[in-house]
Amino acid sequence: MRLLRNGRKHVAHAEAAIHPPTGRILLEVDDLATHFNTPRGTVKAVDGVSFTLDRGRTLGLVGESGCGKSVLSRSIMGLLPSRNVTRKGMISFDGNRLDQMGPAEMRSFWGTQLGMVFQDPMTSLNPVMRIGKQITESLDFHFDMDRSEAQETALALLKSVNIPEPARRLRQYPHELSGGMRQRVVIAVALACGPKLLFADEPTTALDVTVQAQILDLLRQQQRDREMAMVLVSHDLGVVAGHTDEIAVMYAGQIVEKAPTRSLFAKMRMPYTAALLQSIPRLENPSHTRLNVIAGRPPDLIDPPSGCRFAPRCPYAQDRCREEQPPLIESDDPGHVYRCWYPVGTEAGREALERNLAADVPQAQLAVAGDASVVTGDD
Which string of x and - marks every residue 294-313 that binds other proteins (by CB under 8 A)?
---xxxxxx-----------
Q: Please report whether residue 193 would count as binding other proteins according to CB under 8 A.
A: yes
Amino acid at 328: L
Contact 250, 218 (CB under 8 A): no
Instruction: With H, G, I as helix, E, B as strand and everything else as coil, classify residue 127.
Output: coil
Instruction: With H, G, I as helix, E, B as strand and everything else as coil, classify residue 201.
Output: strand
CB of 141 or CB of 265, closer to other proteins: 141
Contact 121, 185 (CB under 8 A): yes
Q: Please report whether residue 36 would count as binding other proteins according to CB under 8 A.
A: yes
- Compute how many other C-beta atoms are within 10 angstroms of the C-beta atom of residue 273: 25
Q: Which of residues 317-376 bind other proteins (CB under 8 A)?
A: none
- Compute how many other C-beta atoms are within 10 angstroms of the C-beta atom of residue 179: 15
Q: Please report whether residue 109 would count as binding other proteins according to CB under 8 A.
A: yes
Question: What's the rounded Cα separation, in Å, for the pair 227 and 222?
Answer: 8
Q: Which of residues 42-81 bind other proteins (CB under 8 A)?
A: 43, 45, 64-66, 70-71, 74, 77, 79, 81
Question: What's the rounded Cα separation, in Å, for the pair 290 and 265?
Answer: 23
Q: Which of residues 168-187 bind other proteins (CB under 8 A)?
A: 175, 186
- Compute how many other C-beta atoms are within 10 angstroms of the C-beta atom of residue 309: 26
The torsion of the CA quartet 153, 157, 162, 168, rounded to 10 degrees, works out to -50
Instruction: With H, G, I as helix, E, B as strand and everything else as coil, classify residue 38.
Output: strand
Q: Which of residues 135-164 bind other proteins (CB under 8 A)?
A: 137-138, 141-142
Contact 122, 206 (CB under 8 A): yes
Minimum distance from residue 327 beta carbon to other proteins (Å): 24
Q: Please report whether residue 289 would count as binding other proteins according to CB under 8 A.
A: no
Amino acid at 260: P
CB of 40 or CB of 147, closer to other proteins: 40
CB of 194 or CB of 335, closer to other proteins: 194
CB of 267 or CB of 313, closer to other proteins: 313
The strand pair at 41-54 and 58-62 is best described as unpaired
Region near other proteins per CB under 8 A, out of 123-131, 223-231, 260-268, 360-368: 123-131
Q: How far is CA 100 from the centre of its chain?
A: 22
Q: Please report whether residue 251 would count as binding other proteins according to CB under 8 A.
A: no
Minimum distance from residue 298 beta carbon to other proteins (Å): 5
Contact 77, 199 (CB under 8 A): yes
CB of 67 or CB of 344, closer to other proteins: 67
Tell which one of 39, 102, 164, 334 touches other proteins (CB under 8 A): 39
Instruction: With H, G, I as helix, E, B as strand and everything else as coil, classify residue 61.
Output: strand
Minimum distance from residue 124 beta carbon to other proteins (Å): 4
Q: Please report whether residue 198 would count as binding other proteins according to CB under 8 A.
A: no
Residues of this chain that interact with other proteins (CB under 8 A) are 8, 36-41, 43, 45, 64-66, 70-71, 74, 77, 79, 81, 83-85, 103, 107-112, 114-116, 118-120, 123-129, 137-138, 141-142, 175, 186, 189-190, 192-193, 297-302
